[in-house]
Amino acid sequence: MTERIPALAGLLCALLLASVQVLDPAVWRVRALDLLQLVMGPLEAAAGGPEPAFAVTVVDIDRASLEAIGPWPWPRATMAKLVAAVAEAGPAAIGIDILFAEPDRRSPAALARQLAAAAPDPALAELAQRLPDGDLLLADAVESTATVLGFVLDPDGAADLPGPPFLVAGRPDLRGLWRSDGGTGPAPVLATAASGLGALSLPGDPDGRVRRVPLLVAAGPAVLPGLALETLRLASGSAGYRLLAPPDGPLRLEVGGRELPLPADGFLPLGPKALPEPRSLSARTVLSGKTEGMQGGIVLIGSSAPESGGLRATAFAPLSPSVGIHADAIEQLMRGRVLLDVPLARWLEPAAGLILAGLVILAALRLGPIAGLVMLTGLGLTWIGAAGAMLHWADRLLDPAGPVLVAAGAFAVTAVGALSLTRRRELHLRESFGRRLHPAVVERLARSPEQLKLAGEWREVTVLATDLEDFTVLTRRLAPTELIALLDRYLEGIGRIVVDHGAMIDKLVGDAVHAIFNAPLDLPDHPERALAAASAILAWTERFRAEPAAQAVGFGRTRIGLETGIVVVGDVGLGTRLDYTAYGEAMNLAVRLEGQNKLLGTAILIGPVAAAALGPSRLRPLGAHPVRGIERPLELFTPAEVGVPDQTAV
C-alpha cells in the first residue's frame, strides 16, 4: 500500500488541476494560446497564403500629426479634410475608428447657432446658415465614398440604430451575442451620410487584454456588425449579410461572397499573423496630399496618440491602437480565418490532461523517474504539436499547455513522493542493516531496494549461532566496565568475520551471535560460506582467548552451531521500530546444536540439512544424537579439519 501513495498523490494533483481547467478554463488557457500563436506566427508567415482581396492602410492621427495640426480632439472641419483627402485617393471603403457622438459645437456655424439661441436674432440664425458647419463638412466627405462610422454599446443609448439587412436561412441562435439595451452612434447628420455603422468596442478578457474583435453585436432589438466586418462588406460591394443556420453545424455568415463560421458569441478571435503589418500613414502626411497606395483598398482612420483614448492592451503589446486591431481583424477575415474552439474543448482538454497524467505516473512508477520525464516530454511535445496543427490546418483552438501542465504537476508530485519514499526506505535499510551486513551489500540494497522483500517471504538460509562458555562466571569475576570492554572486542571480532563472509547478523543475545546466510540477498553457496565463517570464528576466538587479558580471567571457548532450512524473513516490530529478522525451525536448531557441543566435546556442530549441502568429504560424522526439542535423534557432523580460511569480503 505504501508504494501506491505517490501514485495516489499524483492522481489527486491531476484531478485538482483538471478541475481548475473545467471550472475556470481562462486561468491559463488564454495565455497558453497566446504563446502558441506567438510561435505559429512566423510559421504562418513562412507558409504564405492567398493574396488578400484588398490592401489595408491605416491613417494614423499620431503624436506628430497632433503637434503639427493641433491638439485632440480635432475640429470636425479638420476631420472632414482628412476623410476627403482619403476619399479622393479612391479606396474601396473607409472605416473610421472614432466616435462622433455629439453634434459639432466648435465650428463657426455651431457657435452662431448657440448665439442665436441665447439672443434671439434672425440675423444670427441667418449667419449660421452661411458659416462653415463642421458636421455638414464631415457628412459631405463621408458621403463621397463608402464609409463606415462607429458606434458603441450603451444601455442608455438609442435602441434604433440603423443596420444593414440580414438574409436569414434557418433558425440561428444569437443569444450568445454581446448585447446591450441600446447603443450610442454618430450625430444624426453623420449617421445619415454614412454607408454603414460598425461597433467600435473592443472588450478585454479577464486579464484586460484584447484578443477578440466583435463580428456581430446586439444593440436593443437590432443585430449590428463590428467595424471590421462592416468595412469589409462595403469594400466587397455587398448589399447585406446572409446568416446561415445549418441543423448539424455551426452558424455561418456570408459577406461579399465568402462564407465564414460564426462563433456563438459573435466574436472573432485574433489568430497568428500571416501577413505583414498593415501599411500605416501619418494623418499629417495624408493631409499634405501623399495618398499613394490607397486606391482600391481599405483605409481605416484612427489614432495612436495616448490622448485620443484609443490604446488597448493586447496579447503581445501593452498598448496597441484600436484602429490597428480592427485592421488586423480585416486582414484575418479576408483570409477566411475564424478560429473556433475544438468541439467539447472544455471537457476534452481536462480529460486529455488526466490521460497524460496517468501515463506519466505509470511510467514513473514502473520504469523510474527518468523514463517518466522522457515520456512526459514526448507526450507534451506531441500534444503541443497537435495544438499547433489544429490551429494551422483546421483553424481550431486547442489548449496547448493545460493538459501538459496537469500531467507535469501529477508527475512532479509522483516523482517527489516516490523519491521521498525511496529515501525513507534507503534510510531504513541503512539503519537496519548498516552494522549487520557488509558495507558493499548495504550499498547494493540502498541502490536497489526492490531486491529486498521486507514484507516477509519464505527463504532457505544457513543459520550460524555462537555462544561463549562460562559467560556467567565472567560476569562475577569482572567489573562491569571491564566486562563490557572485553565483550565488545569479542563480539566485534565475531561480527566482522560473519559480515565478511556475506552473512547478516540477525541478533545479539548476551554473548551469543545469531547470523543468517542467504538473506536478505541471495548467496548461492551459503552453506559453504557459513562453514568457512564458523572455522574462521573458531580460529580467531582461540587466539583471542590466548591474549593475556582474556587468559587472566579464564575466557571460555566459543561453541558454534550450523543448520540449513526454510525460514520466514521480514520486518517485524512496533510502529517505526522495525527489525529485519528470521523465524523457523532452522533458527532454533542451530542454537540447540551450539549447546550440544558441550555434550559432544566439539566446537562446531552441523545439522543434517547443512551437512547434505556441504558434502561428506569436508565433514566428520558423529552419529545420531538426541537434540532437545527434536523427537528423533539427528545425524550430526563436525568439520573434518578446522583451519583459518580466507576471509574475503563480499
Question: Residues 145-188: pLDDT tens digits?
Answer: 999 999 999 998 888 899 899 999 888 889 999 999 999 999 99
Domain match, 316 and 245 both? yes
Domain match, 169 and 194 both? yes
Interhelix angle 345-367/402-433, nearest 10 degrees: 20
Local mean pLDDT, 10-residue blocks, the chain (650 residues): 71 86 74 83 72 92 94 92 95 96 79 67 65 87 96 90 90 91 93 95 88 94 94 94 86 89 92 79 94 93 92 88 94 90 86 90 83 90 92 88 90 78 57 48 48 66 92 82 87 87 83 87 89 94 90 89 89 54 87 91 93 91 89 91 44
The rounded distance, in Å, linking the Cα atoms of 192 and 152 is 17
Domain match, 323 and 356 both? no
DSSP one-letter code for 517? E
Element (H, E) at 42: helix 29-47
Look at residue 424 in the predicted model and tell me its pLDDT. 62
Domain match, 278 and 323 both? yes
Domain match, 264 and 409 both? no
Q: Report yes or no: 618 and 601 within 8 Å, Cβ to Cβ.
A: no
Judge whether 45 lies within some domain. no
| Chain-centre distance for alpha carbon 227 | 39
- The cell for 189 is 447628420
Element (H, E) at 160: none
The rounded distance, in Å, linking the Cα atoms of 649 and 502 is 7
Range of the domain at 129: 50-334
Judge whether 145 lies within some domain. yes
Look at residue 442 in the predicted model and tell me its pLDDT. 46
Using alpha carbons only, give the angle 405, 410, 415 rounded to the nearest 5 degrees: 125
Where among 427, 444, 473 does a domain terminate? 427
| Chain-centre distance for alpha carbon 205 | 23
Overall domain count for the chain: 3
Where among 427, 443, 465 does a domain terminate? 427
Q: Report yes or no: 535 and 602 within 8 Å, Cβ to Cβ.
A: no
Among left, alpha and beta (phi > 0; psi -120 to 50; other), residue 615 is left
Domain match, 350 and 296 both? no
Which residue matches cell numbers 490532461?
A: 353
The rounded distance, in Å, linking the Cα atoms of 639 and 311 is 99
- The cell for 394 is 483546421
Backbone angles phi, psi at 358, to 5 degrees: -60, -40
Look at residue 276 in the predicted model and tell me its pLDDT. 74
Judge whether 432 lies within some domain. no
Judge whether 434 lies within some domain. no
| Reported pTM | 0.69
Collapse the DSSP code of 59 into the 3-class scheme (helix H, G, I; strand E, B; otherwise coil) and give the result. strand
| Chain-centre distance for alpha carbon 535 | 62
- What's the pLDDT tens digit per position in 197-247? 999 999 988 888 999 999 999 998 899 999 999 999 999 999 999 999 988
Domain match, 255 and 116 both? yes
Backbone angles phi, psi at 168, to 5 degrees: -110, 130
Domain match, 286 and 226 both? yes
Backbone angles phi, psi at 55, to 5 degrees: -75, 140
Q: Report yes or no: 325 and 270 within 8 Å, Cβ to Cβ.
A: yes
Domain match, 398 and 320 both? no
- 59 pairs with which residues across the strands? 281, 301
Domain match, 129 and 79 both? yes
The rounded distance, in Å, linking the Cα atoms of 55 and 294 is 8
The CATH number of whichever domain residue 589 belongs to comes to 3.30.70.1230
The rounded distance, in Å, linking the Cα atoms of 194 and 100 is 12
Look at residue 439 in the predicted model and tell me its pLDDT. 52
- The cell for 576 is 517505526
CA 487 to each of CA 21, 357, 475, 534, 559: distance values in angstroms, whole numbers, following the listed order: 67, 57, 10, 19, 16
Where among 287, 304, 334 does a domain terminate? 334
Alpha helices in 401-477 (DSSP H): 402-433, 439-447, 471-477
The rounded distance, in Å, linking the Cα atoms of 474 and 485 is 12
- The cell for 426 is 534507503
Q: Which amino acid is at 618?
A: R
Domain match, 7 and 116 both? no
Domain match, 545 and 567 both? yes
Concatenating the DSSP letter of every residue in 246-264 gives: -TTS--EEEETTEEEE--T
Concatenating the DSSP letter of every residue in 555-621 gives: ---EEEEEEEEEEEEEEEEETTEEEEEEESHHHHHHHHHHHHHHHHT-SEEE-HHHHHHH-GGGEEE
Q: Which residues contact 216 (CB under 8 A, 6 or more apart)?
A: 174, 177, 223, 224, 225, 226, 229, 253, 262, 266
